[in-house]
């Protein structure tokens, strides 16, 4: 019991993860009550084939985020807080966009095969309706984890981890289009919002720190 109390005392920042509860509840409300008025589709979507194999990268998103939260939560409170800021701000802003600008997509193919990968895609289709798609949460959260990895002092000299992280991010973002969960538009919107968040969370603080050191 003492070990548990000590762990909780030293890692109270994990409590920030409780913010997932209202965010997930709000997303469920959006999915149930908001009808899409804007269909996301562009010509480039028609050139991207459906590829069931990408479901593996799409599903890896859950592990990618989980590993990020656990690792940084245990190793670096500052990195953990940056990850929390990036993901929760990204999700919150996206949900506001869903309410103001309800979006959806109609690109999902009819699944005719009966193999494991197709079944996995079918499961995702069944639990995640093609509504509230722009910007893509998958993209924003993947960029968030990779951004923290690349800016963390823990990996400043670890090119292997950085390479694996950016590869995972790219595959996850691509998977949203190849399994027809998202349009290219959703991905671009997710990257755009992520870029803005990156500037506020990483770039501006570094500029301020540089100026402070220079003045000192």
Q: Which of 98, 117, 127 shows the shortest CA–CA distance to 190?
A: 98
- DSSP of 93-129: HHHHHHHHS-EE---PPPP---SHHHHHHHHHHHHS-
Residue 214 is predicted with a pLDDT of: 66
Nearest-angstrom CA–CA distance, 171 and 157: 23
Residues 6 or more apart whose Cβ sits within 8 Å of residue 111: 118, 121, 122, 125
Average pLDDT over residues 32-43: 93
Query: pTM of the entire structure?
Result: 0.93
Indicate if the pLDDT at residue 53 is higher than 70. Answer: yes
Tens digits of per-residue pLDDT, 125-142? 999 999 999 999 999 999
In which band, very low, low, confident or very high, does the pLDDT at 1 lie, cut at 50, 70 and 90?
A: low
Q: Is the peptide bond before 135 cis (omega within 30 degrees of 0)?
A: yes
CB 80 within 8 A of CB 143: no
Tens digits of per-residue pLDDT, 101-110? 999 999 999 9
Rg over alpha carbons for the chain, rounded to the nearest Å, is 19
Nearest-angstrom CA–CA distance, 55 and 205: 36
Average pLDDT over residues 178-192: 98
Tens digits of per-residue pLDDT, 150-174? 999 999 999 999 999 999 999 999 9
Residues 6 or more apart whose Cβ sits within 8 Å of residue 118: 52, 111
Identify any residues that bridge with 38 across adjacent strands, giving them in sequence order: 103
Residue 209 is predicted with a pLDDT of: 78
CB 181 within 8 A of CB 124: yes
Indicate if the pLDDT at residue 39 is higher than 80. Answer: yes
Domain extents for the chain?
A: 35-205
pLDDT-above-90 percentage for the chain: 83
Under DSSP, is residue 65 helix (H, G, I), strand (E, B) or coil?
helix
Indicate if the pLDDT at residue 50 is higher than 80. Answer: yes
């Amino acid at each position: 019991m003492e070990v548990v109390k000590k762990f909780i005392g030293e890692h109270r920042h994990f409590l920030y993860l409780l913010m997932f509860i209202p965010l997930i509840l709000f997303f469920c409300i959006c999915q149930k009550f908001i009808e899409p008025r804007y269909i996301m589709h562009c010509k480039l979507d028609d050139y991207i084939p459906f590829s069931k194999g990408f479901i593996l990268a799409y599903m890896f998103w859950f592990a990618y985020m989980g590993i990020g939260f656990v690792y940084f939560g245990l190793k670096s409170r500052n990195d953990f807080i940056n990850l929390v800021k990036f993901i929760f701000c990204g999700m919150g802003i996206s949900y506001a966009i869903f309410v103001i600008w309800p979006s959806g997509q109609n690109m999902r193919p009819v699944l005719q095969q009966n193999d494991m990968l197709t079944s996995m895609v079918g499961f995702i289709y069944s639990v995640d309706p093609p509504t509230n798609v722009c910007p893509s949460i998958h993209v924003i959260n993947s960029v968030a984890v990779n951004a923290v990895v690349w800016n963390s002092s823990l990996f400043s000299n670890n090119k292997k981890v950085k390479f694996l992280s950016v590869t995972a991010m790219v595959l996850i973002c691509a998977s949203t289009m190849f399994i027809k969960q998202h349009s290219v538009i959703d991905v671009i919107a997710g990257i755009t919002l992520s870029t803005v968040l990156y500037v506020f969370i990483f770039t501006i603080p570094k500029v301020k720190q540089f100026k402070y050191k220079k003045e000192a």
